[in-house]
Amino acid sequence: MRLPADTRIAPEKLSDYLLRPRDDHDKSGFLALAGYAEKDAARLEVDLRAQLLSLEADAAGEDQYGWRYVIRGSLTGPNGRRLRVLSVWMKEKATGVTKFITLYSDQ
């Protein structure tokens, strides 16, 4: 199945979580391989929508908050390097809103 085009991607999830270096569960170093930096949150959102959200999502389970989905694919960054990623998305039970949760290296 494909997730809705209006799936929510919170800007702070990108700028404060994925692109900012962290001591625990850092993803910024991985994304930097493709040329993403802290200033590139808007570009990362555009790329997630164009390169991943358009792909098929696989159901990955349900918990008390909602239904989780996984999209595996390639994310080509500003420097042209392609990263294999596994992205996690969720449709919330309480609101019906589908939103981006996180991504990981799928290499």
Instruction: Give pLDDT tens digits for 48-102.
Output: 999 999 999 999 999 999 999 999 999 999 999 999 999 999 999 999 999 999 9
Is residue 4 domain-resident? no
Q: Are 66 and 73 in contact (CB under 8 A)?
A: no
Residues 6+ apart with CB under 8 A from 91: 66, 67, 69, 97, 98
pTM of the model: 0.94
DSSP, collapsed to helix, strand or coil, labels residue 63 as coil
Query: Where in the sequence is the domain holding 84, given as residue range(s)?
Result: 11-105
* Structural domains counted in the chain: 1
Is residue 3 domain-resident? no
pLDDT for 107: 80
CA angle 61, 42, 16 (to 5 degrees): 65
CA distance 40 to 17: 13
